[in-house]
Amino acid sequence: MQFRKDINGLRAIAVIAVVLFHFNSNWAPGGFAGVDVFFVISGFLMTGIIFKGLDQGNFSITQFYIARANRIIPALGALCFALLVFGWFFLPPIDYAALGKHAASSIGFVSNITYWRESGYFDAASHEKWLLHTWSLSVEWQFYIIYPLVLVAMRKFISLKTMKMVILIGATLGFILCVLATYKFPNPAYYLLPTRAWEMMLGGVAYLYPLNFSESRKKVVEWTGLILIVLSYIFISQDNLWPGYLAILPVFGTFLLIQANRNDSIITGNAVFQSIGKWSYSIYLWHWPIVVAIYYFSLSAYFTYLGLLISILLGFLSSRYIESLRLVRNAKGFFGFLKLKPVLLTIFIGILGVGVFNENGFLSRFDIKDLKSLYVNRVDAESYYRNNLMRAFSNNNEVYNEVDLCTLDGDMQNIKSISDCLNYKLGDGGYLVIGDSHGRDFLHSLFIAYPNLNFSMLHQSSCVPTEYKAKKQGGVHCFKLLNELRDTFILGNEKIKGIILASLYGDGKGLSSMIEDINKNVYGDIPVYVVNAGPRIDKDIVDLAIKSGEVRDSYSLLSGRNVEVLGINNKIAKLRPKAEVFDKYSIFCSDENKCRLNDGVEPYIWDGGHLSALGIHVMSKAIIENELIKTAP
């Protein structure tokens, strides 16, 4: 296919947006849509290669795969290897183990599935995942594997003309699936191929159905496409469901720019965009680890600007010395295929990554004693959390049981099943806790503080205890059916002695909705207790132990996420007297905005905010001392 300067410049428009968004989302709130631009470009180019080969009768699936491997794997493999070497020296075991897992899944082109499945309460922040951006490469590679197989199979039965129509229909149906799935299943819709394939297929439509315009109209079409793309970068944000119907803006904009076919355009053909477009793949690969490093090591804002320059420099070097390598384009037989350098590199990185993961990030790299050795050995956050709970309850002759939760994260999605679950745990009468995993911490403290009382919990991950459409988590409907449940089960239920609301309160929209509920007295005469937000630290306490060589006694709350905590708690404090406010924050934090992280031996917090076994016990004592439930025996 003839080199098209306009498409190369379009790559620059895509990668610039993605990079700006990642370094500072205020610079390009919808910059993540640049990935969608890349998808359309890939679909256009791959469809051209395949259809040209099918039309001439010389298309080879094997050569197609080899060409894609030669294009994608060397630079990706170099990045993965560099990060694994870097991680050996600078990352704590838990993060190094995660990096090993992600390196293996990235080089194996299944990282989109890995990141989709990792979402949940204890998922590390996106800015701690060094290879998160490779999810899009995995989507593209999966498309590259399946697409030619389907087209070659179709060619045996139908004409090329009919195949073109099938792709057009497929792109249309794919868009409909994308819109529906984004609302119903936002997280998988973001990461997985079925809801992204239509974008690449629409790129294919641009190749199969080229539009011929006069030169003056070409400019209009080009500018229209550019405006659609830029509008998506400016007015769409991560608060919007994505991809969904809004993805049509950058996708159709890219379609129009490709159809305009203006090789001499000053917009896409200028020297700067041509250079950035040429380096775009490598810039995309290297920029995200730099973003993560700035966040991970708490570097100053100065490094944001320096990071932009380093991303371009590394992109240039990678493009010049790695992407430009001349590799074998043919292979004879299966073993010949295995001997290809990109395949060998994939196997090497895969084995290396799996080894790092299986060795738990090589704990032996660190000599951390006593307290630190106990907490650095945590690799699986969820199992560690459960073990902590078992320790907490073992001192009180209680047994932790997940059945204590009636969670909306699973299949419990109707009023009857929710009511039956809550009713069972209430027994003859008790208190209803509503909240997320931080509310679950409070539930466990209640069990220890009041062993003779019944507590039942309505739980949903990362949600404020009120019914609302979350701005985060891809627009999840938090505590769906809570309003109906309140009318049909809670109000007038003599078993319910009080409502206890407890959460991280990480969604401002949810917090406002909860405050509005309480001000409107939606729970009637039932006493309402609100647990305010506890301390948060920007890094896992394990990281603090490893990086500083000790677990610090206190942690300043005057920066980052903790300024938000103080603002949240000020709003919650104003709920008095309509609700009883339990001050969880003051249990661990002083008036000087310093928070105690341990008792000199063990930590109160085991990650960025969830309580350890000791923290649960400390909070249970505070509950008793403050007589939260004054009628308790």
Domain harbouring 528, CATH code = 3.40.50.1110
Instruction: With residue 460 as reference, give the H or E element that holds it.
Output: none
Q: Residue 578 is part of which domain span?
A: 401-626
What is the pLDDT, as a whole number, of residue 614? 82
Tally of CA atoms within 13 A in the half-sphere of 363 that contains its CB: 15
Dist CA 27 CA 30 (whole Å): 9
Is there a single domain that holds both residue 181 and residue 309? yes
Task: Tell me, yes or no, whether 372 lies in a domain.
Answer: no
Task: Please answer whether residues 409 and 422 qualify as being in contact, where contact means their C-beta atoms are separated by less than 8 angstroms.
Answer: no
Displacement of CA 424 from its chain's centroid (Å): 35
Task: Tell me, yes or no, whether 38 lies in a domain.
Answer: yes
Is there a single domain that holds both residue 14 and residue 140? yes
Is there a single domain that holds both residue 552 and residue 457? yes
CB-based contacts of 129: which residues, under 8 Å, 6+ apart?
98, 102, 115, 292
Is there a single domain that holds both residue 334 and residue 409? no
For residue 243, cis peptide bond before it (omega within 30 degrees of 0): yes
pTM above 0.85, yes or no: no
What is the identity of the amino acid at 79?
Answer: L
What is the pLDDT, as a whole number, of residue 594? 74
Dist CA 462 CA 452 (whole Å): 29
Token couple for 199: 């974008």
What is the pLDDT, as a whole number, of residue 538? 61
What is the pLDDT, as a whole number, of residue 562? 64
What is the pLDDT, as a whole number, of residue 106? 98
Is there a single domain that holds both residue 451 and residue 515? yes
Domain boundary among 307, 338, 359: 359
Task: Tell me, yes or no, whether 284 lies in a domain.
Answer: yes
Dist CA 633 CA 631 (whole Å): 6
SS3 17: helix
Dist CA 38 CA 134 (whole Å): 13
Task: Tell me, yes or no, whether 102 lies in a domain.
Answer: yes
Task: Please answer whether residues 290 and 325 qualify as being in contact, where contact means their C-beta atoms are separated by less than 8 angstroms.
Answer: no
What is the pLDDT, as a whole number, of residue 68? 95
- Residue 142 has a CB neighbour count (10 Å cut-off) of 19
Task: Tell me, yes or no, whether 9 lies in a domain.
Answer: yes
Dist CA 496 CA 114 (whole Å): 41
Task: Please answer whether residues 111 and 353 qualify as being in contact, where contact means their C-beta atoms are separated by less than 8 angstroms.
Answer: no
253: left (phi over 0), alpha (psi -120 to 50) or beta: alpha
Task: Compute the CA torsion angle 47, 53, 57, 59 (nearest 10 deg).
Answer: -100
Tally of CA atoms within 13 A in the half-sphere of 482 that contains its CB: 29
What are the beta bridge partners of residue 530? 501, 581
What is the pLDDT, as a whole number, of residue 397? 42
Dist CA 409 CA 2 (whole Å): 51
Task: Tell me, yes or no, whether 80 lies in a domain.
Answer: yes
What is the pLDDT, as a whole number, of residue 370? 41
Q: Tokens 């159905």 belong to which residue? A: 209
Domain boundary among 359, 382, 414: 359
- Residue 161 has a CB neighbour count (10 Å cut-off) of 8
DSSP track, 406-426: EETTSS--SHHHHHHHHHHHH
What is the pLDDT, as a whole number, of residue 71? 94
Domain count, the chain: 2
Is there a single domain that holds both residue 410 and residue 346? no
Strands (E), 155-247: none
Domain boundary among 328, 359, 390: 359
What is the pLDDT, as a whole number, of residue 239? 80
- Residue 465 has a CB neighbour count (10 Å cut-off) of 28
What is the pLDDT, as a whole number, of residue 310? 97
Is there a single domain that holds both residue 292 and residue 440? no
Task: Tell me, yes or no, whether 304 lies in a domain.
Answer: yes
Is there a single domain that holds both residue 102 and residue 236? yes
Token couple for 564: 């938000």
Task: Please answer whether residues 35 and 122 qualify as being in contact, where contact means their C-beta atoms are separated by less than 8 angstroms.
Answer: no
- Using alpha carbons, list the distances in angstroms from residue 437 to 99, 364, 457: 25, 32, 11
What is the pLDDT, as a whole number, of residue 367? 55
Is there a single domain that holds both residue 48 and residue 110? yes
What are the beta bridge partners of residue 430? 454, 496
Task: Please answer whether residues 125 and 407 qualify as being in contact, where contact means their C-beta atoms are separated by less than 8 angstroms.
Answer: no
DSSP 249: H
Token couple for 591: 């008036």
CB-based burial label for 131 (10 Å; 0-12, 13-18, 19+)? buried
- Of 20, 13, 60, 61, nearest to 38 by C-alpha is 13
Is there a single domain that holds both residue 11 and residue 143? yes
Range 410-426 burial, b when 16+ CB lie within 10 A, else e:
eebeeeeebbebbeebb
Positions in the chain whose pLDDT score sits under 50: 120-124, 368-386, 388-403, 549, 558-559, 632-633
Token couple for 465: 């205890």
pLDDT in tens, 559-569: 455 677 888 99
CB-based contacts of 518: which residues, under 8 Å, 6+ apart?
528, 530, 575, 578, 579
Is there a single domain that holds both residue 191 and residue 55? yes
Task: Please answer whether residues 97 and 360 qualify as being in contact, where contact means their C-beta atoms are separated by less than 8 angstroms.
Answer: yes
Is there a single domain that holds both residue 347 and residue 405? no
What is the pLDDT, as a whole number, of residue 400? 40
Task: Tell me, yes or no, whether 631 lies in a domain.
Answer: no
